[in-house]
Structure 1
Amino acid sequence: MRYAPGKDARWLLLRPWIYLPRLFQIIWALTGLVVSLLLRGRSKDSEVQRKLARTLLRTLTNLGPCFIKVGQALSTRPDLIRRDWLDELTKLQDDLPSFDHAIALQTVEEELGAPVEQLFEDFPDVPVAAASLGQVYKARLHGQHWVAVKVQRPNLAFILRRDMVLIRTLGVLGAPFLPLNLGFGLGEIIDEFGRSLFEEIDYYCEADNAERFSALFADNPAVTIPKVERLLSARRVLTTSWIHGTKMRDRQELKAQRLNPPALIRTGVISGLQQLLEYGYFHADPHPGNLFALSGQTGDLGHVAYVDFGMMDSISNSDRLTLTGAVV
């Protein structure tokens, strides 16, 4: 469950029947994508750009979790990606194809030690969302209490270990041919990405993160953190209270729910600065799929809920004070 690039590389090199077909698949897919972008990327035709965006989405989705994570990061960067591509890439946040429901039920039973019929009063046949590493069900506990049950995709540790070795190899070999701002330190960037991925697939770690994050905002009525159901959580299954809110993607949808976008933005900015400059512990994956707008308002602050605490990070006191001094 730990990222170890050297050890993982030795493990994979001894298994050419695993890495050779996968390496060919990755190179083939990325080559086709690059050719499409080079040939049609400068087109002014909006329909051409929509097709390119769908090609990018399809390529990343087909290549699996590691590449989907890269696409998720790009989906929040309008400074790097064309605005008309972002709508397609946001589908990588929680609108991916789900895996087989029977496998999800088997994972729950293996991890929690009992069938879902005993653990939940109502457990649906279809997830409400599917992301790169797992899918989420809206289930009901005994007593009418609704919860979100996140179930990890099958065989995930193997897939991540295999693909991270190949991505790192291709990245290090290709770095000298990239522009300086992209190629410099690419190996270290990939290693940081790999470490965060392996932390993210340990749901015990995510449960600890959620409870620590919740304690920081315990006295803040504008920020809501779902409660972890420890008895229904394990390494590959995480159960938390259900958040009844509106995803912070579409301004018109927020207005239709009688929510106040400027107040929500204010809460998002202030809570983000608190995490970075006051607490030194922050949510490292705050894309729109992980932020919900809630009803109500406290003064000029809208009510916001954070979810998905797989990617968290800390900043040292010295760096935090340096940043604070710079802002002041």
Structure 2
Amino acid sequence: MQFDRLRRMALFSMVVRHGSFSAASRELGLATSVLSSAVSQLEESLSVRLLNRTTRSLSLTETGQLYYEKCLEMLSAAEMAEEVVAGGIGEIAGRLRISAASDVAQKIILPALSPLVRKSPKLILDILVDDHVVDMTTQAIDLSIRSGWLQSSSLVARKLANLDEILVASPDYLRRFGTPDSPESLYQHRIIGFNRFAEPTTLPLRNSVDNSVSIRMTPSAMTDNVSMMRDFVMQGFGLARMPSYMVQNELSRGELVLLLSDWALPGAGIYAVTLKRTLQPPKVSAAIEAISCYLSTL
């Protein structure tokens, strides 16, 4: 394979990753004409169209998507080679691009990986905070940490921990509307709906003797962000179904109150999601282990 072809593949990947020739131009310090010419030459040599171009946007063709994935594998292999020679096999080094929802990034990833970064000065964290599922291939994500991740044949998901969910309210709300003492009494209350659930305002509850009940409640507010849901409940908008790690401090300070402790919500899993690779880079494996160990302490 010609060395020029490898360079064009790398430039093509950068254009796709940044979403435009101009953005890639600014990142690489190259003229847009250089990038455009490289992609055109690549398409000509392959006799296929890789990108659909308009004056305002570009997108991958079906063939371009497949080719881009292979280009990323090439770049990943090159990056791993650099990591090996940087200081020996297994050194934790290089840029680690992680995707996570805002609550997970702040409450889990940052404290979990801080010790790893201190021990690995050549490791650079690049955190993409997004409350929606991202395309790991297109955005060149090394690792995604998510709860309730949808399975995909092109991804590998490893369950790191179970996350408990609890029902909470503020003392102020309970003073105004009373404290529910049974699932049936929830009908008299309002809930803060979470839009990422299939049924945002429904509480599926189960007790220790395996009795189950599903309560559909009237919402007082709706959001797709866990941190915002916590803010709503702190302001007394209503009850909220929260992951326990998000409200531990508020519960210990008495700013929130645990409700219906004899009944359990389904809970969720938290997953480390990676692209399928023959061998994961040391930085990815180390990050997964660090996050897993941190979760075991929660």
Query: TM above 0.5, one fold?
Result: no
Larger Rg: 2
| TM-score, normalised relative to structure 1 | 0.24
| TM-score, normalised relative to structure 2 | 0.25
Please state which structure has a larger fraction of its residues in strand: 2
